[in-house]
Amino acid sequence: MTHYRTIADLLDLHGKVAVVTGAGKGIGRSTALRLAEAGAAVVISDIDESAAHEAATLITQSNGTVAVIHADISLVADSERIARFAIENFGRLDILVNNAGIFPAAPLLEMSEALWDKVIDINLKGAVFAAQAAAKRMIAGGHGGRIINVASIDALFPTGNLTAYDASKGGLVMITRSLAKELGQYGILVNAVAPGGVNTPGARQGAAAIMGVSADTVDLSQFPVRGVLGRAADPDEMARVVLFLASDLSTYVTGSLIVADGGYLIV
């Protein structure tokens, strides 16, 4: 029998180093804040440098440990740079959260090759090569690790007009299982989260575009959203699921998808 560990100990990430992609805003920012609160040193990587620095300031103000790298996750070379940056700054890499993603709507009949390529390059290729770069460091460190992919409910149920996005997220769920199978021998657990509607800058922008209004005027917390709970999630509600998968609360979970959709799939 394993020795008893308290809940506080199981959630404690002191001594661990986490990389969160797209951590400047939305779900990524909330996730970075929670991982830092649990004690991890966090690398914030984002293509939006000012948002990344804003997120980092929030962590510093709460006495957390953080470093920022400006990187475009669709570039394989940037995945390598991020992993190297984590090692150079903090000496190790334990947790990768593949969160960066875009979700531009485009009906099939209007979808361009450029849009398809961009969505797949960021959401799918970016996640795969970030995982490759991180896994190399985790294996070299000999301490196992966690890779957490932020997929979407769209991997399981298409919203419509999101062909490229749905393909990227469906692919991400299968890659989660594939990588879990390959990397388990090194003690690296790979899982995914499938959020439903989350009140983030990206989602507000998407809703505003559909409504033809400015994104600043949209507050998704005020909208009825499909699902049993009838509301959009706060980004922190996704961060808490990621925290579970990053912590020792989930040592026997790998190759899994946690659906956090407020009951979207059952209405």
Phi first, then psi, for residue 133 (nearest 5°) are: -65, -40
Catalytic residue among 4, 165, 186, 252: 165
Contact between 202 and ligand NAD per CB under 6 A: yes
Region near ligand NAD per CB under 6 A, out of 35-43, 99-107, 210-218, 245-253 = 99-107
Contact between 201 and ligand NAD per CB under 6 A: yes
38 vs 119: CA distance, rounded Å: 32
Residue 153: strand, helix, or coil = helix
The helix (H) or strand (E) run that includes residue 168 is: helix 163-183
165 is catalytic: yes
Shortest Å, Cβ 39 to ligand NAD: 23
Site for ligand NAD in 77-96 (CB under 6 A): none
Residue 129: strand, helix, or coil = helix
Contact between 122 and ligand NAD per CB under 6 A: yes
Geometric angle at alpha carbon 231, from 107 and 164, rounded to 5°: 20
244 vs 64: CA distance, rounded Å: 19
Residue among 64, 145, 195, 262 that touches ligand NAD (CB under 6 A) = 195
Shortest Å, Cβ 199 to ligand NAD: 7
56 vs 64: CA distance, rounded Å: 9
Contact between 34 and ligand NAD per CB under 6 A: no
133 vs 58: CA distance, rounded Å: 27
Residue among 22, 145, 227, 262 that touches ligand NAD (CB under 6 A) = 22
Q: Which residue has the tokens 């939305």?
A: 26
Residue among 197, 239, 246, 247 that touches ligand NAD (CB under 6 A) = 197
Shortest Å, Cβ 233 to ligand NAD: 8
97 vs 152: CA distance, rounded Å: 14
The residue among 46 and 94 lying less far from ligand NAD, judged by its C-beta, is: 46
42 vs 266: CA distance, rounded Å: 36
Shortest Å, Cβ 169 to ligand NAD: 7
244 vs 262: CA distance, rounded Å: 17
The residue among 91 and 263 lying less far from ligand NAD, judged by its C-beta, is: 263
Positions touching ligand NAD (CB under 6 A) are 21-22, 24-28, 46-48, 51, 72-74, 99-103, 122, 150, 152, 195, 197-198, 200-203
Active-site positions? 165
